[in-house]
Structure 1
Amino acid sequence: MSYEERLRQYIRENEHLMKDLERVRELGLPQCYIAAGYIRGTVWDRLHGFSNQAAHTDIDVIFYDPEDLSEAREVQLEQGLIDQTGNDKWSVKNQARMHIRNGNPPYRSSEDAVSWWPETATAVGARLDSGNRLEIIAPYGLDDLFSLVVRRSPRFEDKAYYVSRVRSKNWQRQWPRLTILED
């Protein structure tokens, strides 16, 4: 079974994540995915034999809409999800404007935006299409994610920030089999 097939299986077997993917699909946003820690943590939990610890993490929702770059829209969407679920860990960000905050060239899509994220294992997203099929974005593939390797993404140039970030996350305390590469 390929890593992508395994990822789909892990997501489908995670009742909380599937429900959240359905909620996000209902928003009707373009190129909209649940990404980063929720997906990454779901895989790392499974590979460590843990059950659904990632359900308690932030829920990063990304979308790409160059027609409406207002932060107010993101706040409204976020609050709607919080009100609907009672979970205050939702974060909704339009990737069409995030390049400004991050000091990068304009992103061309959600997948392009994800390729600028700090770690290859974090650069992953999933969404449900209208036919309930899982679509995965992973610009660097899924090898690092499934090999439990944390490495700096090729497009993320701020090495000092990356090192500080992975140290502060202290992921190895929660997932002891991780290999953290600091160079």
Structure 2
Amino acid sequence: MPTTPPDPFPVGELADPTKTREDDRFRAVSRIVQTDPTLMAILQTSRRLDLPDAWLVSGAIYQTIWNALTGRPEGYGIKDYDLIYFDGSDLSYDAEDKVIRRVADAIPELAERIEVRNQARVHLWYENRFGRPYEPLSCSLESLVFYASKTHAVAVRLTQGNALEVHAPFGLANIFAMRLVPNTATNNRATHEEKGARMKTFWPELTVVPWPSRISS
């Protein structure tokens, strides 16, 4: 039986930072996330496993918001769910793999779609994969400022008190405006353009801001 899309989320003026407060956007994110059963299942699993400095980040959050804004069904267009954590006590892949398997065992129905990564060891493999160095991080949230697009930089986690904690170093207005804005902190032009092209096929309402021409590819 086909899924009926929910009514569009009443966005109001959340896309305009001159007319609404960031606190209003934080509350809207919390409301949207807490009504999505898949996101809540992942967040509850992460909390139950007590993963250190663990956050659900990026596409799982802002694409869920876009679906709410446009009246599309839950999970539409979402390729995977990025769950990050930070454990500097053991930087081996074996240690990370154990965490990956713990999460998979805890939520097997989503095991193939959850990407679990220890942010303490990203600098060990990043250059080999992307061709440029990556400085060691001090915590999970520090990674957000290096994402290819500022719009990607959003993270949520569930507190022990069952409240939703939201972090967005570049703010949330661009997400509610459905505007993908490049982040030139690192040379991630290819990633920004590749992801932007893919997202436009799912959310044609999206505006993809071009990478500045003064920064080479």
Q: Same fold (TM over 0.5)?
A: yes
Number of aligned residues: 181
**Residue in 2 aligned with 1:125?**
155
d(CA) in 1 for partners of 2:34 and 2:188? 35
* Cα pair 2:157 2:165 within 8 Å, conserved: yes
Structure 2 unaligned blocks of 5 or more: 1-22, 127-132, 212-217
**Residue in 2 aligned with 1:89?**
113
d(CA) in 2 for partners of 1:15 and 1:160? 33
Once the 2 structures are TM-superposed, how far is the Cα of residue 160 of structure 1 from its aligned partner? 3.7
Once the 2 structures are TM-superposed, how far is the Cα of residue 54 of structure 1 from its aligned partner? 4.7
Superposed CA offset, 1:20-63 (max 9, x none): 11001112122101111111111111111112025953111101
Question: Are 2:99 and 1:71 aligned?
Answer: no
Question: Are 2:140 and 1:116 aligned?
Answer: no
Seen in structure 2, the aligned counterparts of structure 1 residues 54 and 134 have a Cα distance that, compared at 3 Å, is farther
Seen in structure 2, the aligned counterparts of structure 1 residues 77 and 107 have a Cα distance that, compared at 3 Å, is same
Question: Are 2:186 and 1:156 aligned?
Answer: yes
Question: Are 2:123 and 1:99 aligned?
Answer: yes
Seen in structure 2, the aligned counterparts of structure 1 residues 179 and 71 have a Cα distance that, compared at 3 Å, is same
Once the 2 structures are TM-superposed, how far is the Cα of residue 161 of structure 1 from its aligned partner? 4.1
d(CA) in 2 for partners of 1:13 and 1:6? 11
Superposed CA offset, 1:148-183 (max 9, x none): 01111231323244324433xx21121111000122
Q: Scaled by the length of structure 1, what TM-score is found?
A: 0.90
d(CA) in 2 for partners of 1:47 and 1:22? 24
Q: Scaled by the length of structure 2, what TM-score is found?
A: 0.77
Aligned-partner SS, 1:2: helix
Question: 1:172 aligned to 197, 200, 209, which one?
Answer: 200
Once the 2 structures are TM-superposed, how far is the Cα of residue 82 of structure 1 from its aligned partner? 2.5
**Residue in 2 aligned with 1:46?**
68
d(CA) in 1 for partners of 2:93 and 2:160? 27
Once the 2 structures are TM-superposed, how far is the Cα of residue 73 of structure 1 from its aligned partner? 2.4
Superposed CA offset, 1:88-132 (max 9, x none): 111111111113333222112111111111111111111001111
Task: State the structure with more CA Rg.
Answer: 2
Seen in structure 2, the aligned counterparts of structure 1 residues 54 and 21 have a Cα distance that, compared at 3 Å, is farther
d(CA) in 2 for partners of 1:56 and 1:123? 16
d(CA) in 2 for partners of 1:138 and 1:149? 15
**Residue in 2 aligned with 1:17?**
39
Once the 2 structures are TM-superposed, how far is the Cα of residue 19 of structure 1 from its aligned partner? 1.6
Structure 1 unaligned blocks of 5 or more: none
Question: Are 2:59 and 1:29 aligned?
Answer: no
